[in-house]
Structure 1
Amino acid sequence: MKDEKKAPKLRFKGFTDDWEQCKLGDVFSFLKNSTLSRSELNYESGKFKYIHYGDILTKFGDITDTRNFSVPFVTTPEKVIRLEKYFLQNGDVVIADTAEDSMVGKVTEIQNPDPFPTVSGLHTIPIRPNKEFAAGFLGHYMNAPFYHDQLFKLMQGVKVLSLSKSAVIQTKINSPSYCEQRLISRMINLIDGTITLHEEKKRQLERLKSALLQKMFADKSGYPAIRFEGFDKAWEERKLKELGDIQTGNTPPTSDSDNYSLDGVLWVTPTDIKSLVISNTAKKLSQVGVTKARIAKAGSILVTSIASIGKNTLLRMDAGFNQQINSLTPTSENDSYFLLTQSEKWSEKMKQIAASATMQIVNKTEFSNISTYVPVHKEEQEKIGSFFKHLDDTIALHQQKINNINSVKKSLLQKMFI
C-alpha cells in the first residue's frame, strides 16, 4: 500500500514535495534500557552516564548534548560488560514512558554521548532510527504537537500515566527530505539557543539577587555588609506589627454569587500569588462582596501563612484576600518595595515557626511578632527598594522574553510539522 503523502502549512521556500508518512516501528529499532538502582549511580565520577526518565521530563530539551548536562554516572565496575549493549549513539531518541501528567512521552535526541558512554535508564524507551535523519530533527519533531498528540490516547493509568512499547510502535512519523529536515532543525536550534541565553541571564540575575539579599540587609549586628553611600547608622530591630497594619484575610461566602463578579475588586488566594507584584486574580469581589471582605490597601504586602508558607506579593491596588494570607500595610515611614524584598527573610522565619507546630500555619500573632531590622531613614529603604525593583523588573523582562519566544516556537511547531 502506498504511503500517504502530506505537507505542513509553513515551509521554507523551494520545498514543495509532500512529507513521507510511516509507522514508527518501520523506521526505528527498539533498544534495551538499563534498570540500575539509584545506589549504583553517582554524580561525581564513573565510567558511564545514565539518563533517567526524570531527567527527560525536567532537565533535558529536545536535544541532549550529554557533555553539557550533569547526569548520574554508573560507578559499579561489575556492571561494565553488561552495559555495553545499552550504549546510546548519536541520533538515538529516548522516550520517557512514565509521568504524573501529559509530559509522558516527552523525548530527547542524544548528541555527543562520548567521551563517557551513555545508557538509557529506568522508565525510558530508547529507539534508534534505521535511516538517516538530520541532527536534531527527531527531537524537535517528536516533541511537537502532531506526534505528541498521538500519544494521549495511548496513555494508561490514572495518577501515574505510562506508555508501552507496543503502543508507541504504532504511532506515525512524517518526515521531509534530509535537506528540509536540516533547515527546520537549524531554525528551531536557533530559537532554543535564544531561549537558553535568556534563561541563563535570568539565572545569573537570580543568583546575584540571592547574594545581595544576604549582604544588603542587616543581621543582628545592625549593619549590612553593603550600603549605599551616605548611610552609616545602625539599623533598628522592629517587629512586623511596628512597621504597619496587619490583617488576616477572610472569604465572603462563595455560596452567594452576589459576592463575586467578573470585573470587580481583586480577591487573592495563595494560588493567585505567582509573581512579586500581583495584577490579576481568578475571582473578583463584587461591591456586595467588598463589604464582607477584609481589604488591604495598595502598597500592602501579602504573605501566605497556611500550607504554602511564605509566598509573597505586593498589591498595586486595593484588594481582598482569603484566610490563608496575612497582609502588612506599611506606615508612611516605611517603603513598600523594601519590605516586599525583605519579606523573603520573613518567609524563612515563618517556615521555621510552621515546622515546629502541629499544623503548617503561622497565625496573625506569630506573624505580627516576627522581628526584623530596618534602616533608621526611609530614604535608605527607598534606595534599597528601588534597586531591587529594577533587578526584579530585569528578571521579569527575561522571563517575559522566554515566554514570548516559547509562544513563537509553539506556533511554529504547530505549522511546520505534520
Structure 2
Amino acid sequence: MSENKKLVPKRRFKEFQNTDAWEQRELGDLAEIVRGASPRPIQNPKWFDQNSEIGWLRISDVTEQNGRIYFLEQRISEAGQGKTRVLHSSHLLLSIAATVGKPVINYVPTGVHDGFLIFLNPKFDLEFMFQWLEMFRPQWQKYGQPGSQVNLNSDLVKNQKFFIPSLGEQKEISSFFTNLDQTIAFQQRKLEKMKSMKSAYLSEMFPAEGERKPKRRFPGFTDDWEQRKLEDMCSLITKQTGFDYSATIKPSLINKKNDSTYSFIQNKDFSGLNINLNTDFHIPVKIAEKFPRILLDQPSLLVTISGKIGNLGLYNDVKKAFIGGAVGICKLNDLKEGEFILYELTSEFGQRQFRKSTKTSSHANITVEMIKDIDIIIPKSHIEHNKISKFFKQLDTTIAFQQQKLEKLQNIKKAYLKEMFI
C-alpha cells in the first residue's frame, strides 16, 4: 500500500476518490486556540443579569443540547462580560471539564467560561471540525491517568495531529453529517413526544390523589375504583434474611452465561415490561437454588428499595433468574394484574406512594413493610384494567420501536464517523 493510500479515509465521495490525500496538520496550525474565562467568585450574583442579551454557557447546556447551543437560560451581566470571553457569532468550542472532549458550536451570543477552549480564526470548515472532534472524542481519554479524571489543556489540544482534506471535501462531509444529524434530531423529537404522551396518559388514566375515578376512561366504564394494599395483590419479599449478601452471593458471580447458571438481574437490568436476561453477571444454579425465596421462577413485579426508589420491572419468563440486592420481589397472583400494577405505580400517583414511604438517611431507602402498605387503586372490572394494560403495552411497544430506530441512526453515524475520517 502506498503512503498516499494510507492518508485517505475508508469511505469517500466519488468526486474526491482520485484527488489528493489528506494532509497531516496540528490543530494549533489551523486556529488560535484559547481558553474561556470565568468571573470569580462565580456564585456572586453581580455577574448575572436575566435581562442581558449575552448567555452564559454551562456544561448542563452542552449535555441537554448535545453540543449545539441555540438557547442559554442563564444570562451574564455587563460586569460579568468583562471577566469572560464573549462570542457574538458562531464558534467551535471544546469542553475540557466534566464532559471532556465534547465539541460545541454556539448559535447565540455566548459568554464562555474556563471549562471550554475556543477555536478563533479557523482555517477549516466549522461543521467538519465539529464532526472530527466528535469522532475523536474517545481518544482524549488517553490523556488521563488510570482511575483519574482526564485533564485537557490548550497545549495538548494545539499539538494534537490529525488529517484534513481540501476545503471542498470538508464541505461535502459537513453537508452529509448535517443532514444525518437532522434526521437523528427528528427521530429524537419523535421519541420524546411519544414518552411525553405516555406520561400524559399515565396521569389521566389513573385516579389522582384522593380521587376514585380517572379523568380519562374507555367508554362504558363509570364505577368508582377500589382501594387495595399492594400486599393484597402479590406476595412481597426481599433478600434472604440471615446471611451476608455481599459475602455469600457476589463471590459466586461469573461473567459468562452457560447451562449451569442463571441470569443475575440488577437494578439496571429492568425497566417496565422489559427485563434484560443477557446480564453482565450470572450465578451458578447450585448457589442460586439455595435461596429459593429470591429466585425468580414465577411472574414477579420487581421494585427497587434502595438508592433510586420505585424503579419497576415485570419478570415473566420461562427461564429462571436470580435477583440482586436492594430489590423487592412481588410474586404475582395474576400476571395481568401485575401489568396493571406496574403501570399504576409508574404513574404520578404511584410514584407519590413511594415518595411518601421513603425514609431518608445517608441515601434513600424503603422497607418491604412500607411497600406492602402502599395503596393501589384498581377498577372493579377486570375488563377495564385489562384494557388499560393493553393500551400501555401497545404504547410501550411503539416507544421501544422508536427507541430502536434512534439507536440504529446513532450507530450508523458512529460507523460513518469511523469510515469518513482518518
Is TM-score (shorter-chain normalized) higher than 0.5? Answer: yes
**How many angstroms apart in 1 are the aligned matches of 2:416 and 2:73?**
30
1:384 Cα deviation from its structure 2 partner: 0.6
Percent identical among aligned pairs is 24
Deviations 1:162-198 (A, max 9, x none): 2111211110132111221111111111221111111
Q: Does the 8 Å CA contact 1:53/1:121 hold for their aligned counterparts?
A: no
The correspondence for 1:25, drawn from 19, 23, 28, is 28
**How many angstroms apart in 2 are the aligned matches of 1:72 and 1:257?**
48
The correspondence for 1:188, drawn from 177, 180, 184, is 177
**How many angstroms apart in 2 are the aligned matches of 1:157 and 1:93?**
29
Structure 2 partner of 1:96 = 95
The correspondence for 2:221, drawn from 220, 224, 231, is 231
Which range moves more in the overlay, 182-191 or 154-163? 154-163
The correspondence for 2:66, drawn from 61, 64, 74, is 61
Which residue type is aligned with residue 330 of structure 1? L
1:349 Cα deviation from its structure 2 partner: 2.3
Whether 1:52 and 2:61 are equivalent positions in the alignment is no
Q: Does the 8 Å CA contact 1:98/1:160 hold for their aligned counterparts?
A: no
Gaps of 5+ in 1: none
Q: 1:89 to 1:32 in 2, by over 3 A?
A: farther
Question: Matches of residues 6-405 of structure 1 in structure 2 within 5 Å?
Answer: 6-15=7-16, 16=18, 17-36=20-39, 37=42, 39-40=45-46, 44-56=50-62, 58-61=63-66, 64=68, 66=69, 68-74=70-76, 76-80=77-81, 86-90=86-90, 92-99=91-98, 103-110=99-106, 112-113=107-108, 117-131=109-123, 133-145=124-136, 148-155=137-144, 159-219=148-208, 220-250=210-240, 253-256=249-252, 262-263=258-259, 264-274=261-271, 276-280=273-277, 281-293=279-291, 294-317=294-317, 318-332=320-334, 335-344=337-346, 345-356=349-360, 360-405=364-409
Which residue type is aligned with residue 195 of structure 1? I
Corresponding residue SS for 2:28: helix
Which range moves more in the overlay, 204-213 or 41-50? 41-50
**How many angstroms apart in 2 are the aligned matches of 1:108 and 1:167?**
18
**How many angstroms apart in 2 are the aligned matches of 1:12 and 1:156?**
39
Which residue type is aligned with residue 127 of structure 2? G
**How many angstroms apart in 2 are the aligned matches of 1:300 and 1:333?**
8
1:19 Cα deviation from its structure 2 partner: 0.8
**How many angstroms apart in 2 are the aligned matches of 1:31 and 1:181?**
23
4+ runs of 1 displaced by more than 6 Å? none
1:156 Cα deviation from its structure 2 partner: 6.2
Q: CA RMSD in A?
A: 2.9
Q: 1:160 to 1:154 in 2, by over 3 A?
A: closer
Which range moves more in the overlay, 401-410 or 350-359? 350-359
Corresponding residue SS for 1:190: helix
Q: Does the 8 Å CA contact 1:52/1:122 hold for their aligned counterparts?
A: no
Which residue type is aligned with residue 162 of structure 2? I
Q: Does the 8 Å CA contact 1:5/1:19 hold for their aligned counterparts?
A: no
1:14 Cα deviation from its structure 2 partner: 1.9
Which residue type is aligned with residue 305 of structure 1? I
Q: 1:109 to 1:172 in 2, by over 3 A?
A: farther
Whether 1:416 and 2:406 are equivalent positions in the alignment is no
**How many angstroms apart in 2 are the aligned matches of 1:161 and 1:407?**
25
TM-score normalised by L of structure 1: 0.86
1:71 Cα deviation from its structure 2 partner: 4.1
Q: 1:286 to 1:97 in 2, by over 3 A?
A: same
Q: Does the 8 Å CA contact 2:54/2:110 hold for their aligned counterparts?
A: yes
Q: 1:137 to 1:144 in 2, by over 3 A?
A: same
1:79 Cα deviation from its structure 2 partner: 4.1
Deviations 1:335-376 (A, max 9, x none): 222111112244432233223567632222111111121111
TM-score normalised by L of structure 2: 0.85
1:287 Cα deviation from its structure 2 partner: 3.0
Corresponding residue SS for 1:255: helix
**How many angstroms apart in 1 are the aligned matches of 2:223 and 2:186?**
41
Q: Does the 8 Å CA contact 2:253/2:281 hold for their aligned counterparts?
A: no
Q: Does the 8 Å CA contact 2:7/2:23 hold for their aligned counterparts?
A: yes
Gaps of 5+ in 2: none
**How many angstroms apart in 2 are the aligned matches of 1:18 and 1:205?**
46
Number of aligned positions between the proteins: 399
**How many angstroms apart in 2 are the aligned matches of 1:209 and 1:244?**
26
**How many angstroms apart in 1 are the aligned matches of 2:32 and 2:15?**
32
Q: Does the 8 Å CA contact 2:57/2:72 hold for their aligned counterparts?
A: no
Corresponding residue SS for 2:418: helix
Q: Does the 8 Å CA contact 1:53/1:97 hold for their aligned counterparts?
A: no
Q: 1:326 to 1:106 in 2, by over 3 A?
A: same
Which residue type is aligned with residue 55 of structure 1? D
Corresponding residue SS for 1:226: coil
Which residue type is aligned with residue 113 of structure 2? G
